[in-house]
Structure 1
């Protein structure tokens, strides 16, 4: 089994690996304040990780889409059910890509208190054991997109 299949097929409720999606190339991840200001629990200085590779791909694409679009909307799903991301944007480039950073799960990566969440936190810097460059076109079936009309 190749590594990507191993990541995709792992048991998200008893994970061997945790993942972090980003549109940027990063050597070492450092704790940061979450940008999800609607969810007070996520306003924490930590590295946010998920046991669900598909969820990490959604985060790998989301911020790049925000940079490319004046109008957008996103809803992320952290409970392991599809679609992993509901979103609406004006522009979705054919070559959209991002990165999923892979980490061995350790005891200092703390799962959030909600029963059905794949989200974990880590409070110190992390160096990934693997980095997977992901293309939106390869994962589009895991998301639900609503097109917005381009602004005039």
Structure 2
């Protein structure tokens, strides 16, 4: 896959600079890097811009990326429907591809653009398991 000029990172936090942080994913080694994660498509970043709170040890947050828009799958997870989320457009220069449509940067990244999102606009993307 050719590296796009820009990548996207979703977060419920408003940030000036995105710094590497330890990830705790469950889909393999690439989900556990101490890095800034990004995706090539804006729509895929939306799920990560939502303010989510797990309600049990069996809570699930999953994104089915086989469709556009993606399906956000939740189980025992609450969404703060009133909290603005943020999608950061990032220069791709420091990123490397580690999984299909998953990029990481091991150094801090300054966004070139920030988009505010209203979670209510994406309500139809969410499926409860």
- TM interval, shorter chain, is 0.7 to 0.9
Once the two structures are TM-superposed, the CA of residue 97 in structure 1 deviates from its matched residue by: 2.6
* Partners of 2:6 and 2:71 in 1: CA distance: 18
* Partners of 2:127 and 2:8 in 1: CA distance: 23
Once the two structures are TM-superposed, the CA of residue 76 in structure 1 deviates from its matched residue by: 2.2
List gaps (5 residues or longer) in structure 1: 1-11, 148-152
Larger Rg: 1
Once the two structures are TM-superposed, the CA of residue 93 in structure 1 deviates from its matched residue by: 4.3
Matches within 5 A, 1:9-24: 15-24=4-13
Runs of 4+ in structure 1 off by over 6 angstroms are: none
Once the two structures are TM-superposed, the CA of residue 52 in structure 1 deviates from its matched residue by: 1.4
Aligned residue number for residue 144 of structure 1: 126
Contact in 2 for aligned 1:31/1:47 (Cα 8 Å):
yes
Pairwise CA RMSD of aligned residues?
Answer: 2.6
* Partners of 2:20 and 2:78 in 1: CA distance: 30
More helix by proportion, 1 or 2? 1
List gaps (5 residues or longer) in structure 2: none
The number of equivalent residue pairs is 127
TM-score by length of 1: 0.70
Aligned residue number for residue 82 of structure 2: 95
More strand by proportion, 1 or 2? 2
TM-score by length of 2: 0.80
CA change 1:78–1:39 in 2 (3 A) is farther
The Cα offsets for residues 95-147 of structure 1, whole Å up to 9 and x where unpaired, read as 243111111222x31112x4xx2110111101101111111121233x23217
Aligned residue number for residue 56 of structure 1: 45
